[in-house]
Amino acid sequence: MLNGFTVAIDGPAASGKGTISKAVARHFGFAHLDTGLLYRAVGARVLDGELPEDAARALVPADLEDDRLRSPEVAQEASRVAAVPEVRALLVDFQRSFAARAGGAVLDGRDIGTVICPDAQVKMFVTARADVRARRRFEELRGKGVDTTFEAVLADVEARDARDMGRADAPLRPAPDAVQVDTSNLAIDAAVEAAVALIAEKLPARG
């Protein structure tokens, strides 16, 4: 009954998209796709010497399991390859098929509500101040043993935001019908509750 029910969650780097997406997927039993991983996997292949378009064409599911994908170096390369229209075009079908799967789906990224799933039943645009996002990502990376500084993480976040908002193809911006949630002063539980309430309102009546 929920076939094709899609939740689109977009926003800048480390705003909390993934955290909210995972939690609502668990809550409603939806499948979840972190679309950033696709661009990160292309970026990782490019760091290994492939050309962006070849890398996007060669992508296989196992690429998404690579431990390196969460590193700041791969994040930077991901935002570079994400500005290449051919790369974006090669990733569209996979994302749309995922969105159409049985049982409902939540996809998080930059252009889900604007380009990939413009007809999504629920659209959220998650934001937070850059210093707050960088602080959270810094703590997360430090927890994983990555050797970095708050300043370096802030620079990464700001550089990627600028590139993601400034590109011509599918720039990062809220869809006109997206509900904007600023998590700067919102705990994870409260952010998840807001998302759950929003989705519950739009779910088709059961029974």
Ligand X SMILES: Nc1ncnc2c1ncn2[C@@H]1O[C@H](COP(=O)(O)OP(=O)(O)O)[C@@H](O)[C@H]1O
Ligand Y SMILES: Nc1ccn([C@@H]2O[C@H](COP(=O)(O)OP(=O)(O)O)[C@@H](O)[C@H]2O)c(=O)n1
Interface with ligand Y (CB under 6 A)? 13-14, 18, 35-36, 39-40, 75, 78-79, 82, 109-111, 160, 164
Q: Which does 16 bind (CB under 5 to 8 A by kind): ligand Y, ligand X, none?
A: ligand X
Contact 8, 110 (CB under 8 A): no
What is the nearest approach in angstroms of ligand X to the Cβ of residue 34? Answer: 7
What is d(CA 72, CA 54) in angstroms, rounded to the nearest whole number?
22
Is residue 149 part of an annotated ligand binding site?
no
Is residue 18 part of an annotated ligand binding site?
yes
Q: Which does 146 bind (CB under 5 to 8 A by kind): ligand X, ligand Y, none?
A: none
Contact 141, 153 (CB under 8 A): yes
- The residue with its CB nearest to ligand Y is 36
CA-based end-to-end distance of the chain: 10
Is residue 49 part of an annotated ligand binding site?
no
Is residue 29 part of an annotated ligand binding site?
no
Which residue, 127, 131, 115, 130, is CA-closest to 175?
115
Q: Which does 39 bind (CB under 5 to 8 A by kind): ligand Y, ligand X, none?
A: ligand Y
Residue nearer to ligand Y on the CB measure, 153 or 199: 153
Q: Which does 109 bind (CB under 5 to 8 A by kind): ligand Y, ligand X, none?
A: ligand Y
Q: Which does 86 bind (CB under 5 to 8 A by kind): ligand X, ligand Y, none?
A: none
Residue nearer to ligand X on the CB measure, 16 or 104: 16
Is residue 17 part of an annotated ligand binding site?
yes
Residue nearer to ligand X on the CB measure, 40 or 45: 40
Is residue 187 part of an annotated ligand binding site?
no
Residue nearer to ligand Y on the CB measure, 36 or 52: 36
